[in-house]
Amino acid sequence: MSQITLTFPDGNARQVPAGITPAEIAADISKSLSKKAISAQVNGAHWDLAWPIDADASIAINTMADENPALELIRHDLAHVMARAVQEIWPDVKVTIGPVRDFGWFYDFDRAEPFTPEDLGEIEARMKRIIAARDPVRTEVWPRDKARAHYEAAGEPFKVELLDRIPGDEPIRMYWHGDWQDLCRGPHLQHTGQIPADAFKLTRVSAAYWLGDNTRPQLQRIYGIAFRNRDDLKAHLKFLEEAEARDHRRLGREMDLYHMQEEAPGQVFWHPNGWTIYTTLQDYMRRKQRADGYVEVNTPQVVDRALWEKSGHWDKYQEHMFIVEVDEEHAREKAINALKPMNCPCHVQVYNSGLKSYRDLPLRMAEFGSCSRYEPSGALHGIMRVRGFTQDDAHIFCTEDQIEAECAKFITFLDSVYKDLGFDSFEIAFATRPEKRVGSDEAWDHVEGALESAIKSVGAPYRIEEGDGAFYGPKLDFYLTDAIGRVWQCGTFQVDPNLPERLGATYIGEDGNKHRPYMLHRACLGSFERFIGILIENSSGKLPFWLAPRQVVVASIVSDADDYVGEVVAALTKAGVRAEADIRNEKINYKVREHSLGKVPVILAIGKKEVEDRTVTLRRLGEKATQVIALDEVTAALGAEATPPDLS
C-alpha cells in the first residue's frame, strides 16, 4: 500500500498508509484523543472521522473544545435526528434538506398538514430518545444510479431532485443515524449520544419554498437552535429576549414615537416625540450635506407615467408603484400618474433645466425625497420596511474622471456621519459587473477600478460581491453592525451611465461639444424611517442625548417647588435643551419610574433643598446615583450635551 505524509498542527509530519481515516490517526495518537475526537480538519476542510485520506495533507483532530466544528456537527446531526424523529412519528412525510444556520438548523419537510406547536414538543421528546439511544452514525459512498433507484423506490422525489443537482464529480454520500438514512455531504458525529441533549430547542415552524423559489411547492420548515451546553443555550435565549425588548415597534409605543394603523398600512403617523428625532436627524444631515458641497432640491410626489416610461420604471417596476389616476370632469382622457418610487428621474429633470457646463460638475444634488413603493404586504415591518418613506438621497452628476474622487469623498462623508450616530465601523460590499450588462468591458474596467481605488484610498474594509452590480454599473453597499451584532445595509453608492442616457442629460465640455455625464446615486442613512428604527434598536431606546426626543424632565418632589421647576425648565429651554416640567401630584418614585420607562436621559428632581440652594439633583437614565449641581452649571453642561456632534 502506498504511503502518504500527514502534517500535524505542531509541524510534525508522519508517514501513514493511504486511505487511513482520522479516527485511526486519533486512536494511534492516544486513547483519550480517540475518545474525544469528533472530526478533523484535512487541508482546512471539515472531515468526517470515517472518511479516508488518500493524499498528502495537513491534519488537525477536532474535539468538542473546538467551537466551530463542534457546533456545526451538533447542529447538523440534530437536523438528521429531527428528520428521523419526524419520519418515525409521521412515516409518510417526505424529507428534503436540513442545513445548519446561525445558532441552529432547520429542516424542510413535505407534508400536507403544517406542524403545530404541540407537534414540536412531541418531536423534541422523540429526538431526546434518539440521542439517549446512542445510535451509531455511519457513512457510505454510493454510485449515483443506486442512490437514484433507492430514492425513487422510497418515494422521496425531493431527494431524487437533489441527487440530480449534485455535480457529477462529487461523491454521492449516504449517512445513517441508526437505521435512518439520509443523503448528506457530511461530516457527522460518530453516534447520536454525542449530541448534548439539554442544549437544543425547537423554536418555530413556518413555510418555505422548495429551493427558495416561489414558483416551487411550499414546504413545512422546522427551526431549531443548538449549542454545546445548556448554559450557552440559556444565554442565547436571553439574547433573544433582549432583542425583543429593544424591538423598535415596542419602544416606539413605550416612548410614544409613532403609530401605524390599518387605513395606511406601511406608513407612519409620527407623534411629537418621534418627529423630534426625525427632524433633529434631518437637520443634522442637511448641515452635513451643505458642508460637503451638496445643493438641496425638492421634486414632485405625483408624476405622470410618461416620465416613468422614459426612465424605464413603468416597464420594470410598475407592480411596486402606487398608481394615481386622475379623472377630471372635463378632461379628455384620464391622466395616469404614479407616486414617485424614487427621486432619480426627477433629479435629472432639475439637472436638464438649463444648459450645464463641465464647469458645473461635479454637481451634487440632494433631496430628502419622499418616496412611495407598494411593498409586498409580507415585507412590511414596523418603520423598518414601509411603503412611504423619505430617503437622504443625492445624485452626483459628474464626468468619468471624477467618479473616483467623488466615491472617496462620499465614503469619508459616510464615515463621519456613522461615527456621529454611534457606529464606529462599517463594512463595504463592492458589487461588480453582472453577466447580463450593458457597456464595454473597458468602461466597466475603468469604473470598477475607480471605485476600488477610492475604497483603498480611504482604507475602508470591503468585500467583493462578484456579479452583483446593476446591469449598467457597479455599486457599493455599506453595512452597519448594531449593538447586538445584527447587520444592516444602510448606505449605497451606485454608478449609473444609463439614466442620463435615457433621460437625455448632457453637459458642454471643454471642447464645446455635448457630453453625457455619469450619475452617481448615493444615500447614507438609506431612509429616515428605517434608520431611526435601527438607531432605536441599537440603543435600546436610550438615544444619545442630542437625539433623545425628551431630554430632561424637571420633576417636583413637593408642590412648593413648582415655581422653581418652571424656572429651571425655562433656563434649560433657553440653553437649547428639550426640557419639560413634571409637577403632578405624584411621588418622586413614581415620576422616576415613569420617565425611566419613557427613556428620558436626564431627570432633575427638585425638592425643598434645591429651591433653597438654587440647585438640582440630577439622575441619569439607568443609573441609581444622583448628584446635586448648581442651576447655572447644569444648564451649561446639558446645553453643551444637547448640541449635535457636527456643531460641538
Which of 9, 99, 114, 121: binder of RNA (CB under 7 A)? Answer: 114
Our answer to whether residue 3 is catalytic in this structure is no
Q: Is 557 in the site for RNA (CB under 7 A)?
A: yes
Please return the burial class of 94, using the count of CB atoms within 10 Å of its CB with bins 0-12, 13-18 and 19+.
Answer: middle
Q: Is 509 in the site for RNA (CB under 7 A)?
A: no
Q: Among the candidate windows 154-162, 352-360, 388-396, 582-590, which touches RNA by CB under 7 A?
A: 582-590
Q: Is 165 in the site for RNA (CB under 7 A)?
A: no
Our answer to whether residue 80 is catalytic in this structure is no
In the complex with RNA, the residue whose CB is nearer, 291 or 558, is 558
Q: Is 621 in the site for RNA (CB under 7 A)?
A: yes
Smallest distance from RNA to CB 390, Å: 14
Q: Which run of H or of E encompasses 532? A: helix 528-539
- 3-state secondary structure string across 240-288: HHHHHHCCHHHHHHHCCCEECCCCCCCCCEECHHHHHHHHHHHHHHHHH
Backbone angles phi, psi at 289, to 5 degrees: -70, -40
Smallest distance from RNA to CB 465, Å: 12
Query: What CA–CA distance (Å, rounded) separates 592 from 4?
Result: 73
Smallest distance from RNA to CB 330, Å: 32
In the complex with RNA, the residue whose CB is nearer, 135 or 477, is 477
Query: What CA–CA distance (Å, rounded) separates 565 from 234?
Result: 46
Which of 44, 91, 167, 212: binder of RNA (CB under 7 A)? Answer: 212
Strand stretches in 184-234, DSSP E? 200-209, 218-226
Q: Is 484 in the site for RNA (CB under 7 A)?
A: no
Our answer to whether residue 256 is catalytic in this structure is no
Q: Is 596 in the site for RNA (CB under 7 A)?
A: yes
Query: What CA–CA distance (Å, rounded) separates 596 from 584?
Result: 16
Q: Is 248 in the site for RNA (CB under 7 A)?
A: no
Backbone angles phi, psi at 634, to 5 degrees: -70, -35
In the complex with RNA, the residue whose CB is nearer, 181 or 626, is 626
**546 conformational bin, left if phi > 0, alpha if psi -120 to 50, beta if neither:** alpha
Q: Which run of H or of E encompasses 606? A: strand 602-606
* Residue among 159, 347, 433, 475 flagged as catalytic: 475
* Residue among 387, 395, 550, 591 flagged as catalytic: 395
Q: Which of 503, 555, 86, 53 is nearest to 313 (CA)?
A: 503
Query: What CA–CA distance (Å, rounded) separates 72 from 60?
Result: 16
Which of 305, 385, 409, 522: binder of RNA (CB under 7 A)? Answer: 385
In the complex with RNA, the residue whose CB is nearer, 103 or 151, is 103
Smallest distance from RNA to CB 609, Å: 4
Q: How far apart are the first and last CA of the chain?
A: 76
In the complex with RNA, the residue whose CB is nearer, 187 or 341, is 341
Contact yes or no for 59/26 (Cβ under 8 A)? no
Contacts of 331 (CB under 8 A, 6+ apart): none
* Residue among 188, 364, 521, 619 flagged as catalytic: 521
Please return the burial class of 456, using the count of CB atoms within 10 Å of its CB with bins 0-12, 13-18 and 19+.
Answer: exposed
Q: Which three cell numbers mark 307?
A: 416620465
Which of 608, 614, 633, 640: binder of RNA (CB under 7 A)? Answer: 608
Q: Is 593 in the site for RNA (CB under 7 A)?
A: yes
Our answer to whether residue 393 is catalytic in this structure is yes
In the complex with RNA, the residue whose CB is nearer, 48 or 610, is 610
In the complex with RNA, the residue whose CB is nearer, 66 or 427, is 427
Q: Is 82 in the site for RNA (CB under 7 A)?
A: no
Which of 15, 440, 585, 648: binder of RNA (CB under 7 A)? Answer: 585
In the complex with RNA, the residue whose CB is nearer, 174 or 321, is 321
In the complex with RNA, the residue whose CB is nearer, 240 or 291, is 240
Q: What is the amino acid identity at position 604?
A: L
* Residue among 190, 391, 494, 551 flagged as catalytic: 391
Which of 2, 214, 513, 648: binder of RNA (CB under 7 A)? Answer: 214
- DSSP state, residue 80: H
Q: Is 342 in the site for RNA (CB under 7 A)?
A: yes
Q: Is 253 in the site for RNA (CB under 7 A)?
A: yes
Query: What CA–CA distance (Å, rounded) separates 24 from 305?
Result: 72
Q: Among the candidate windows 18-26, 227-235, 572-580, 589-597, which touches RNA by CB under 7 A?
A: 589-597
In the complex with RNA, the residue whose CB is nearer, 180 or 545, is 545
Beta strands 104-110 and 100-101 are antiparallel
Q: Is 537 in the site for RNA (CB under 7 A)?
A: no
Bond preceding residue 341 cis, omega within 30 of 0: no
Query: What CA–CA distance (Å, rounded) separates 543 from 421?
Result: 9
Q: Among the candidate windows 87-95, 299-307, 328-336, 607-615, which touches RNA by CB under 7 A?
A: 607-615
DSSP string, 440-489: -HHHHHHHHHHHHHHHHHHT--EEEETT-S-SS--EEEEEEE-TTS-EEE
Contact string 14-53 vs RNA (x = CB under 7 A): ----------------------------------------
- DSSP state, residue 357: B
Smallest distance from RNA to CB 435, Å: 16
Q: Among the candidate windows 325-333, 414-422, 531-539, 597-605, which touches RNA by CB under 7 A?
A: 597-605
Report, as residue numbers or ranges, the catalytic residues. Answer: 344, 373, 391, 393, 395, 475, 521
Binding site for RNA (CB under 7 A): 114, 204, 206-209, 212-214, 218, 220-221, 249, 253, 260, 262, 265-266, 313, 316-317, 320-321, 341-342, 373, 375-382, 385, 470, 556-560, 585-590, 592-593, 596-597, 603, 605-610, 617, 619, 621-622, 624, 626
